[in-house]
Structure 1
Amino acid sequence: MPDRDVSLLRPYLLTSGRTEPIDRNLELEAQVQTSELGAASHPSLTFERRDIVALCRRTMSVAEVAAMLGLHLGVARVLVADLAALGYVVVHRPPAALTGDPAMIERIIRRLEAIS
C-alpha cells in the first residue's frame, strides 16, 4: 500500500506540516492574481507554487485554484497565503457583506462543479 502512504504524506510536505494559512481569514472565494514579481519569479519557484503562479495569471478564487490543481482546499489556502505573503500573488478579498451570501456560495459551488 505504498501509493496510499505517499498520497497521505504529500499534503503534509506541501505545507511543511501546517494546517492553517498565515492569513487565517483567507476566504475560499477570495480572488487570486499573479503579481509582477510572481510572473518574473515563475521559473525559479517550485512545483505547486509555480503552478499556482502560472494558473493565477488569469484571476481565480482560492477554491478554483484547489480544484484546478487537484489540491485539498486547506492545502491551497496555505500555499496561496504563503505566495501572497512573499508578494508572488495578490489576493483580492470579497466585501465583508458578501462572505455569508448564500447566492454567492451557490455560484462558487456551481463554478467548481463545472471545472470537474
Structure 2
Amino acid sequence: MTGNPWLRPYVLTGGRTRTRRNLYMHTLVSAPDYDPAYASRLLPEARRLYERAHASAESVAELSAHCGVSLGVTRVLLGDLASAGRVLIHPETYDSPYDPRLLKEVIHGLRELA
C-alpha cells in the first residue's frame, strides 16, 4: 500500500474506532448462515473475516491475525457484520479480559508450551 498508512483503516471503518458490542480479543465469532452472494458485496477485508468465521468459530484475535486485518479494524468490521445479522457473537465465558479464570488458563497454557 502506498501513501498514508492510516488512510486505508480509516476508510474501512468510516473513521470509527469503536463498536456497539464488547468484542474482546478472546470473544468467539462464527457465521453459521453464510451467504456467498452477501460476501461478494463486501470489502475484501470484511469478506475475509466473514469467510473465516464461516469456516469455524474463532476468537476476534485469531480472525484478525489469519485475515491480516488490524485488531481495531477487525472489531469494527465484525461489529458491522453482527449488526447486519451475518455473524454470531458467542456469549462471553469470562466477564472481562482480566477475569482471574481466564488469566489462570493463559498461565496454564503458557506452562504447557514451556
Same fold by TM-score greater than 0.5:
yes
Residues of 2 paired with 1:98 and 1:52: CA distance?
A: 23
Query: Is residue 9 from structure 1 mapped to residue 7 from structure 2 by the alignment?
Result: yes
Which residue in 2 is equivalent to 1:103?
A: 104
Conservation of the 8 A alpha-carbon contact between 1:39 and 1:53: no
Conservation of the 8 A alpha-carbon contact between 2:60 and 2:75: yes
Conservation of the 8 A alpha-carbon contact between 1:66 and 1:72: yes
Aligned residue-pair number: 105
C-alpha distance after superposition, 1:5-64 (max 9, x if no partner): 1x22111111100011121x222111111131x434222322211111111111111111
Change (3 A) 1:9 1:87: same
* Identity across the alignment (%): 31
Q: Please, what is the CA RMSD of the aligned residues?
A: 2.5
Deviation at residue 72 of structure 1 after TM alignment: 1.6
Conservation of the 8 A alpha-carbon contact between 2:45 and 2:69: no
Q: Which has the higher helix share?
A: 1
Conservation of the 8 A alpha-carbon contact between 1:20 and 1:78: yes
Residues of 1 paired with 2:74 and 2:81: CA distance?
A: 10
Residues of 2 paired with 1:106 and 1:4: CA distance?
A: 41
Q: Which runs of 5+ in 1 are unaligned?
A: 110-116
Partner secondary structure for residue 75 of structure 2: helix
